């Protein structure tokens, strides 16, 4: 049987690889020294035309099935490795048949979980990494993907430009459905809990898990985070034209759960508007760097998060999701941010710096909208805030650089 290579974009260099040898016997001259996860099959990283590919030895039926599943996941814009080829018809030097191979593109900057946890990480970094797995599982389930073998071993973790993301790397058992039933989701979660707890116990035995961490409790926490995120993203809520404050409230709840918003999309029909939010996990400083890149505004991290949320909400409300992000950001600065920050009367400009003032206005508008049950114009929020709140604020500019011992301490009334 002749060698058969079924590829999306055939690379002639693939013919030069030693397909007549079992994958575990391939010479080091072809291999790339990258950390590998635990797999039931033989997997090797191989240099090919200046890049690195992952090759897994598997039966032809499973290889072709997984190839098509990964292609479907990629078309659905879900985090999964990119399939490149299926190589079948392999025979050894003595003519014996060899298993087929699935070839995927190596995901740059990604690591298997053992490599991630072998590094000493801060507790918040470890939490964000595991949150990324919860996000991946929610995104797959929302898209109708039943994984079937959820585990840390079948996941790659990637930190790139401040993002924490998890990618599906093994789709042998995955199935794509129009929609998952609650039973299918729960089955995936049951498998996930058992696999993750077991894998973390292995890390504990190897001394790679922080002392005092309970593998079962960590697995419970991932499931809990999944449930919180699933409910927040799937709860039915309709929005009227003047209900932008409800969109902000939804983003606020996600932020309070520790998740950030990557994409926010509103679709409108005769019954109102529906909201689609895609969460992500980000590293410290990500928001201030993104805001600086888009707008030139140099602000603190929490201020930047709040301003970016308003920018994303503005983008959805104006139905400009398809426009260039920098152009939308420019319009938001000139039409929203600058008019608001310039509206402070000269005698009150020492109260708050511009970014903090804008943040306070957003909070005040949300409060007024919630109380009224409909959107409050930002101009009205500015006017009310300047009249009722800002005059009572201390002058930040006046106390900057002053020794704290020189600031008088005023007794506060004891609340009953």
If asked whether residues 140 and 255 sit together in one domain, one would say: no
Q: How much is the pLDDT for 97?
A: 93
Calculate mean pLDDT across residues 102-117.
83
Q: How much is the pLDDT for 149?
A: 92
Is pLDDT of 404 > 60?
Answer: no
Output the pTM of the full model.
0.65
If asked whether residues 385 and 301 sit together in one domain, one would say: yes
Nearest to 293 by CA among 132, 157, 162: 162
pLDDT tens for 118-137 read 666 566 667 777 888 988 99
pLDDT tens for 45-57 read 999 988 889 999 9
Mean pLDDT score across all residues of the chain: 81
- Specify the DSSP class assigned to residue 45: E
Q: Which two tokens stand for residue 218?
A: 């960590």
- Which is higher by pLDDT, 271 or 201? 201
Is pLDDT of 383 > 70?
Answer: yes
Q: How much is the pLDDT for 363?
A: 86
Q: Is the CB of residue 167 less than 8 Å from the CB of residue 281?
A: no
Is pLDDT of 401 > 70?
Answer: no
Segment holding 159, helix H or strand E: strand 155-160
- Which is higher by pLDDT, 313 or 408? 313
Domain-ending residue, one of 86, 105, 124: 105
Mean pLDDT: which of 13-17, 75-79, 258-262, 286-290 is highest? 13-17
pLDDT band, residue 362 (cuts 50/70/90): confident
Residue 178 lies in a domain: yes
Q: How much is the pLDDT for 398?
A: 42
Residue 409 lies in a domain: no
Residue 411 lies in a domain: no
Least confident interval from 114-123, 246-255, 292-301, 342-351: 114-123
Q: How many domains does the chain have?
A: 3
If asked whether residues 226 and 297 sit together in one domain, one would say: no
If asked whether residues 296 and 319 sit together in one domain, one would say: yes
Residue 24 lies in a domain: yes
Q: How far apart are CA 334 and CA 44, in angstroms?
A: 53
| Sign of the torsion angle spanned by Cα atoms 64, 66, 71, 72 | positive
Q: Is the CB of residue 261 less than 8 Å from the CB of residue 248?
A: no
**Residue 357 CB partners (closer than 8 Å, separation 6+):** 340, 341, 344, 351, 390
Residue 248 lies in a domain: yes
Is pLDDT of 14 > 70?
Answer: yes
If asked whether residues 191 and 48 sit together in one domain, one would say: no
If asked whether residues 119 and 69 sit together in one domain, one would say: no
Calculate mean pLDDT across residues 337-359.
86
Q: Which two tokens stand for residue 363?
A: 């909070």
- Which is higher by pLDDT, 347 or 175? 175
If asked whether residues 88 and 179 sit together in one domain, one would say: no
Q: How much is the pLDDT for 284?
A: 54
Question: Percent of the chain at pLDDT above 70?
Answer: 79
- Structural domain boundaries enclosing 282: 244-399
If asked whether residues 395 and 250 sit together in one domain, one would say: yes
């Amino acid at each position: 049987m002749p060698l058969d290579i079924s590829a999306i974009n055939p690379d002639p260099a693939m013919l030069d690889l030693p397909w007549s040898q079992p994958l575990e016997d391939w010479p080091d001259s072809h291999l790339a020294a990258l950390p590998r996860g635990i797999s039931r099959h033989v997997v090797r990283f191989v240099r090919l035309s200046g890049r690195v590919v992952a090759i897994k030895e598997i039966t032809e039926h499973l290889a072709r099935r997984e190839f098509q599943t990964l292609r479907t996941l990629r078309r659905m814009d879900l985090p999964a490795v990119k399939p490149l080829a299926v190589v079948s018809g392999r025979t050894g030097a003595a003519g014996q048949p060899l298993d087929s191979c699935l070839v995927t593109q190596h995901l740059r900057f990604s690591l298997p979980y053992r490599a991630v946890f072998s590094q000493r990480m801060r507790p918040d970094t470890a939490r964000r990494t595991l949150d990324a797995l919860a996000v991946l599982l929610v995104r797959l389930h929302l898209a109708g993907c039943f994984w079937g073998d959820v585990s840390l071993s079948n996941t790659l973790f990637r930190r790139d430009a401040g993002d924490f993301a998890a990618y599906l790397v093994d789709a042998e058992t995955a199935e794509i459905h129009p929609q998952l039933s609650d039973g299918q989701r729960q089955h995936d979660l049951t498998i996930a809990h058992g696999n993750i707890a077991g894998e973390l116990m292995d890390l504990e035995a190897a001394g790679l898990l922080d002392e005092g961490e309970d593998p079962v409790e960590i697995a419970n926490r991932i499931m809990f985070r999944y449930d919180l995120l699933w409910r927040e993203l799937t709860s039915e809520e309709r929005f009227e034209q003047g209900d932008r404050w409800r969109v902000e409230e939804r983003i606020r709840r996600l932020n309070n759960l520790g998740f950030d918003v990557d994409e926010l999309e509103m679709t409108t029909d005769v019954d109102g508007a529906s909201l689609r939010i895609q969460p992500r996990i980000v590293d410290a400083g990500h928001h201030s760097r993104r805001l600086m890149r888009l707008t030139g505004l140099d602000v603190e991290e929490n201020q930047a998060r709040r301003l970016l949320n308003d920018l994303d909400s503005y983008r959805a409300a104006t139905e400009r999701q398809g426009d260039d992000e920098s152009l939308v950001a420019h319009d938001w600065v000139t039409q929203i941010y600058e008019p608001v920050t310039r509206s402070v009367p000269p005698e009150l400009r020492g109260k708050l710096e511009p970014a903090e003032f804008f943040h306070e206005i957003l909070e005040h508008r949300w409060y007024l909208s919630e109380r009224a049950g409909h959107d409050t114009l930002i101009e009205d929020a500015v006017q009310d805030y300047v009249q009722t709140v800002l005059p009572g604020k201390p002058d930040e500019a006046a106390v900057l650089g002053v020794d704290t011992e020189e600031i008088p301490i005023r007794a506060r009334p004891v609340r009953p």
